[in-house]
């Protein structure tokens, strides 16, 4: 192995990209090197009876340098392309309890960014690292972290919102979320939401789940503002919605509860973009999903 080959392979060890991309890049470089060597060896083979002249040696050296430069250019282009593919999010997962957190997930199912959307979210992310982990492993690490533990008690309510142009990836992330969160003692919902809803929530400075719940509460009680809702936990929002939708019934935030969205099932409802599953500890919720006692 030449010194150049060794340097290229060492550089690849530092590149954080999928192994498939790195393998394809190395293959391209090897092909370029072989082609360059073939172009040099052919004229030499044809005139093997003659001693190579200084001019031919200089030409061979020049071709090798061009080949090395071409290999470096291929490496740069493919690495940049691979890096872009790795870091470019293709899905976003919003997690709202009282902390509001958004995870950006790439096409390979890895979390490439974890962003806190409020102060409680920042405190949680300070206690756990989620980047460069598979989504299900990142979500498990988050829910088991010391910073997140106080927000997943029996009286808590968690809302997970998945946004992606890739419907297959969106459904996969929703299913993984439902499976991970179903083991928690609290209630909640998992839903696939549109990019428009995500953008509107971002404009309001809120997580998608909190924003959707705020809009629902404001329909029942026009005196409530987005600013007021941004300071409520998801359980407070859901209790207020429950109280407004059933004013003659007593609302109690107890028990594990179940959240069922339009396509429902499991402790965490499987909502769709048009729905807002209201899993409550007790009582019946309205909107797109109905709560059931646990």
Burial (Cβ within 10 Å: 0-12, 13-18, ≥19) of residue 168: exposed
Kindly state the helix (H) or strand (E) to which residue 160 belongs, with its residue range.
Answer: strand 157-164
By the 8 A CB rule, do 112 and 104 touch? Answer: yes
Token pair of 1, please?
């192995």
Burial (Cβ within 10 Å: 0-12, 13-18, ≥19) of residue 134: middle
Give the mean pLDDT of the chain: 75
Q: How does residue 212 score in pLDDT terms, banded at 50, 70 and 90? A: very high
Q: How does residue 266 score in pLDDT terms, banded at 50, 70 and 90? A: very low
- Among residues 73, 23, 1, the alpha carbon closest in space to that of 12 is found at 23
Residue 290 has pLDDT above 60, yes or no: no
In the chain, % of residues over pLDDT 90:
50
Which of 21-35, 158-172, 180-194 ranks highest by mean pLDDT?
Answer: 158-172
Burial (Cβ within 10 Å: 0-12, 13-18, ≥19) of residue 226: middle
Work out whether strand 157-164 and strand 187-192 pair parallel, antiparallel, or are unpaired: parallel
CA dihedral (243, 245, 249, 252) positive or negative: negative
Question: Can you tell me the distance from the alpha carbon of 13 to that of 6, in angstroms, rounded to the nearest whole number?
Answer: 11
Question: Can you tell me the distance from the alpha carbon of 53 to that of 57, in angstroms, rounded to the nearest whole number?
Answer: 6
Per residue in 114-130, pLDDT tens? 999 999 999 999 999 99
Burial (Cβ within 10 Å: 0-12, 13-18, ≥19) of residue 136: middle
Question: Can you tell me the distance from the alpha carbon of 56 to that of 194, in angstroms, rounded to the nearest whole number?
Answer: 65
Token pair of 218, please?
């404001």
DSSP label at residue 206: S
**What was the pLDDT predicted at 84?**
79
Strand, coil or helix: 249 = coil
User: Has this prediction a pTM greater than 0.85?
Assistant: no
Residue 289 has pLDDT above 90, yes or no: no
Q: How does residue 272 score in pLDDT terms, banded at 50, 70 and 90? A: very low
- How confident is the model over 35-52, as a mean pLDDT? 54
By the 8 A CB rule, do 105 and 115 touch? Answer: no
- How confident is the model over 168-190, as a mean pLDDT? 93
Residue 4 has pLDDT above 80, yes or no: no
Residue 241 has pLDDT above 70, yes or no: yes
First to last CA, the chain: 65
Work out whether strand 157-164 and strand 258-260 pair parallel, antiparallel, or are unpaired: unpaired
**What was the pLDDT predicted at 54?**
62
Which residue, chain included where needed, has tokens 């993984």? 176
Cα dist. 119→116, 123, 126, 223 in Å? 7, 6, 11, 25
**What was the pLDDT predicted at 213?**
95
Q: Return the higher-pLDDT residue of 261 and 27.
A: 27
Token pair of 274, please?
């048009």
Question: Can you tell me the distance from the alpha carbon of 157 to that of 258, in angstroms, rounded to the nearest whole number?
Answer: 10
Q: How does residue 105 score in pLDDT terms, banded at 50, 70 and 90? A: very high
Residues 148-164 as b/e (b if ≥16 CB within 10 A, e otherwise) read beebbeebbbbbbbbbb
Per residue in 50-98, pLDDT tens? 556 666 655 555 656 655 665 565 555 555 566 778 889 999 999 999 9
**What was the pLDDT predicted at 283?**
37
Q: How does residue 293 score in pLDDT terms, banded at 50, 70 and 90? A: very low
Helix axes 19-46, 3-13, angle to 10 degrees: 170
**What was the pLDDT predicted at 248?**
73
């Amino acid at each position: 192995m030449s010194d150049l080959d060794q340097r290229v392979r060492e550089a690849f060890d530092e590149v954080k990209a999928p192994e498939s991309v790195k393998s394809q890049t190395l293959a391209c470089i090897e092909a370029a090197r072989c082609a360059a060597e073939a172009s040099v060896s052919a004229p030499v083979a044809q005139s093997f009876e003659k001693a190579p002249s200084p001019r031919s040696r200089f030409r061979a050296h020049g071709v090798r340098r061009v080949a090395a430069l071409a290999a470096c250019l291929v490496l740069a282009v493919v690495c940049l392309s691979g890096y872009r593919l790795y870091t470019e999010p293709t899905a976003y997962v919003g997690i709202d309890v009282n902390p509001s957190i958004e995870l950006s997930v790439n096409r390979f199912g890895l979390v490439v960014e974890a962003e806190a959307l409020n102060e409680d979210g920042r405190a949680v992310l300070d206690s756990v690292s989620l980047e460069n982990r598979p989504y299900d492993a990142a979500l498990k690490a988050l829910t088991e972290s010391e910073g997140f533990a106080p927000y997943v008690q029996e009286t808590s309510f968690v809302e997970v919102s998945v946004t992606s142009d890739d419907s297959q990836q969106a459904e996969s992330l929703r299913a993984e979320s439902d499976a991970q969160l179903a083991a928690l003692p609290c209630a909640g919902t998992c839903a696939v939401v549109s990019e428009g809803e995500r953008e509107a929530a971002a404009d309001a400075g809120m997580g998608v789940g909190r924003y959707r719940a705020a809009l629902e509460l404001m329909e029942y009680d026009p005196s409530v503002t987005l600013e007021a809702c941004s300071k409520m936990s998801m359980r407070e929002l859901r209790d207020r919605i429950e109280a407004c939708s059933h004013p003659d019934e007593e609302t109690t935030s107890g028990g594990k509860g179940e959240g069922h969205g339009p396509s429902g099932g499991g402790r965490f409802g499987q909502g769709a973009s048009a729905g807002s599953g209201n899993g409550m500890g007790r009582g019946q919720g309205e909107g797109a999903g109905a709560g059931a006692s646990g």
